[in-house]
Structure 1
């Protein structure tokens, strides 16, 4: 018996735009010759690292690289996550990009290898081609007859559709009337009806009706009235990830599990069946596999079991491109007593292409803070920006970025128009950076309870208690 693999119908996602640490990144900021521009698409500096990421990106787009791994290594706050985000944006909407932190796999209610397998499969897309019959035309009029008494009979109606060459009247059933009402279809809209599923898609309003109403929202899209026949055969392309197919096929309420996030462990038989089905579709030319990118931040948090799993998983033909990031030098591999560069075993390091990031210069710090001020909608004077750049150089870029919104709130409090030096000074005194907080604690640590004397060995568990 042939296995039936269920797929999700489609995705209608509403994106909530929030200002995050990397919401200003739009891409890698490279030109056609893969040369990094100084400031472009939210990216600043790190030219060598961005150029290297661009070369890898091109290999991904051409499908030449699968099962390879890239390591982004550099100090904290040198833009490792920003480069990974830039790669994701530059790949486009269709290419899957899954992101996780190394410590995430220890907090899930499933095995470590299962969590990694799910992450891998989230990063592999399947582009499925289907031929469907569509009815496409401009709505001339909709007549819906509602019965006088409720519940006595179902609603009936007629829908008149036209193209540039023909016009037809369709009888409507209850389901189609509900669907038209849900989509808020009115006469003058250009719609497409999928004959197989009955799904109605609003393509826009007809240009012929553009002068009927003055009050049109800016999001109103005008399209030409379709030409030719009303009924057309069209090739529709869906892109779903292997993980989505796994979840839908693994449980009875599979489709809902995607939204609940409660996927649990997925049996290996289900995955094997899906893999063989996808391979079958590839042979028939129905589908193609789109290897995406899996980004694991803080990769030194993984342990030996995870690293050995990654070694094996990268050899699989259905492997995505793995991008990992770390800010450690030579450090202990988690779960062992051995030390290794970046906290990664040597056999996995051999497979990695290493891209290193360097600390930012003062001008680059200034450009980044400029971009962040625009992103967070904060007006700031040049003197204040200069002071903030100095703070970033002395302490860290992340600390300086945290002060932007705080100083704008201080500015609002004194009813100022733009952030001045006094606002930055005020928040600099209110919120201390790491150096100052450590210094403060070291000065007063003699008075704290359970404080260890500076000369005491780590193995000695005796502590001093200061009496009042």
Structure 2
């Protein structure tokens, strides 16, 4: 008699998997109704009370539609929360207000000119709220009946939809497209839906209260609504919010697949934009449309050159200009493409237009609070003494380095079968991954073993003279001399 022993399967707890980005813990600016910063890491924001209060004032002005063509500069050292504040502003504004984010180096694309890239970014950040009246059918679904018949090798679908309100009930005949639309929206008996008579678009408003039962298997996102009153057919005002760039793309001549053969670079002609601006102006006069000033956020703005800065100067004077928020971590540096030095690498004529908001370095208790928020976001349990050590590392190196150590230390702790990150895990990760200071020190010690080092012994004066000579050379000559050096 043989006895079989089946190995016991390991049972793991199912947890929700989400990707944690650098600013996924930011859910707002963390301000109260009086625009005072709340304490305790509200909405993921920690520290920077002055900067948050200033951006909170900007948020109120944007919300009331009283600001447009203003420019705000977020200036501060690296790792002081400039991008986090901009992301907090985007979260506060919600999905209705257009928010476009880009980096300063994105405009240097091979596909289109720099001014075209900036123009598209500007028009993406300006919303048009269009009001129109339409006839809709709104009611609660009583029954959906679908019949399928084979006709000459094709499957023909026919059906009937029974809708009701509190006062009436009607049966509608359905064609194939409407049946497919109902199946796509996963409409079932008990749902409250609207059908646009002009386009046939079906929108599911929610689940009827009359169908809510304790034994129903409903998700946490299920929305319950009242059964509609009155007649099934009614006229409604529908609000559509689109950006100016979306209207530009729809009306541009070359689109989609044909652009591959016509050599179209994605640039939109100025005539198209002029006609669209005239049409939008007509809609505004008729009261059919309103302008929604959005926000354009340009990070690393010092990467732009003089042509881009000149374009920004002119674009901010336009009637339909969004709120421009730019961020930089540079001090007094050269404007790209020139030998002129300016604060933050931005020309003085543009600096005059900016409302400058400065960010300060984080204090130790603020760094500790940020690390706590990141531990919660990444679902990491960390001991108090380990958190204090990580805070010290963050103050001596950088906050970004300390944040990156959180998940790495969690994996090290998991490897030794521990549910909590301890000091030994932080030390282990600290020895595995070096920060900028230790990496620089390592390079200084072993510079001769690397290629193309410029700190050789006795070569400092020669290098400096070579640099001066190379600045006077033409680009072609510089390229030839580098090729010769590589061959030798």
TM-score for the superposition, normalised by structure 2: 0.87
Among 69, 72, 75, the alignment partner of 1:73 is: 75
| Aligned counterpart, 2:36 | 35
> Deviation of residue 61 (structure 1)?
1.8
Do the aligned residues in 1 keep the contact of 2:47 with 2:366 (CA within 8 Å)? yes
| Aligned counterpart, 1:201 | 203
| Aligned counterpart, 2:276 | 274
> Deviation of residue 413 (structure 1)?
1.0
| Aligned counterpart, 1:117 | 119
Q: Match of 1:44, SS? A: coil
Q: Match of 2:167, SS? A: coil
Among 238, 244, 261, the alignment partner of 1:242 is: 244
Among 169, 175, 182, the alignment partner of 1:173 is: 175
- Equivalences, count: 445
Do the aligned residues in 2 keep the contact of 1:108 with 1:115 (CA within 8 Å)? no
Among 47, 50, 57, the alignment partner of 1:48 is: 50
Matches within 5 A, 1:52-67: 52-67=54-69
| Aligned counterpart, 2:322 | 320
Matches within 5 A, 1:311-390: 311-390=313-392
Among 444, 447, 458, the alignment partner of 1:445 is: 447
Alpha-carbon distance change, 100 to 288 in structure 1, aligned in 2, over 3 angstroms: same
Q: Which moved more, 1:141-150 or 1:85-94?
A: 141-150
Q: Deviations over 1:180-225 (max 9, x none)?
A: 2222222222111110111111222222222395333333322221
**Matches of 2:214 and 2:449, distance apart in 1:** 79
| Aligned counterpart, 1:394 | 396
**Matches of 2:214 and 2:46, distance apart in 1:** 48
TM-score for the superposition, normalised by structure 1: 0.90
Q: Match of 2:37, SS? A: coil
| Aligned counterpart, 1:128 | 130
Do the aligned residues in 2 keep the contact of 1:247 with 1:254 (CA within 8 Å)? no
**Matches of 1:40 and 1:432, distance apart in 2:** 32
Q: Gapped runs of 5+ residues in structure 2?
A: 1-16, 468-481
**Matches of 1:450 and 1:331, distance apart in 2:** 26
| Aligned counterpart, 2:298 | 296
Do the aligned residues in 1 keep the contact of 2:150 with 2:156 (CA within 8 Å)? no
Alpha-carbon distance change, 143 to 116 in structure 1, aligned in 2, over 3 angstroms: same
| Aligned counterpart, 1:18 | 19
**Matches of 1:256 and 1:388, distance apart in 2:** 55
Do the aligned residues in 2 keep the contact of 1:298 with 1:326 (CA within 8 Å)? yes
Matches within 5 A, 1:82-93: 82-93=84-95
**Matches of 2:184 and 2:258, distance apart in 1:** 21
**Matches of 1:125 and 1:263, distance apart in 2:** 24
Q: Match of 1:130, SS? A: strand
Q: Which moved more, 1:442-451 or 1:226-235?
A: 442-451
Q: Gapped runs of 5+ residues in structure 1?
A: 1-15
Q: Match of 1:374, SS? A: helix
| Aligned counterpart, 2:149 | 147
**Matches of 2:303 and 2:279, distance apart in 1:** 35
Q: Which moved more, 1:116-125 or 1:57-66?
A: 57-66
> Deviation of residue 150 (structure 1)?
5.9
| Aligned counterpart, 2:186 | 184
Q: Match of 1:154, SS? A: strand
**Matches of 2:152 and 2:219, distance apart in 1:** 35
Q: Which moved more, 1:451-460 or 1:350-359?
A: 451-460
Do the aligned residues in 2 keep the contact of 1:75 with 1:359 (CA within 8 Å)? yes
**Matches of 2:452 and 2:324, distance apart in 1:** 45
Q: Match of 1:93, SS? A: coil
Alpha-carbon distance change, 385 to 57 in structure 1, aligned in 2, over 3 angstroms: same
**Matches of 2:283 and 2:166, distance apart in 1:** 38
State the superposition RMSD in angstroms. Answer: 2.2
Alpha-carbon distance change, 256 to 67 in structure 1, aligned in 2, over 3 angstroms: farther
Alpha-carbon distance change, 135 to 19 in structure 1, aligned in 2, over 3 angstroms: same
Alpha-carbon distance change, 71 to 212 in structure 1, aligned in 2, over 3 angstroms: closer
Q: Match of 1:428, SS? A: helix
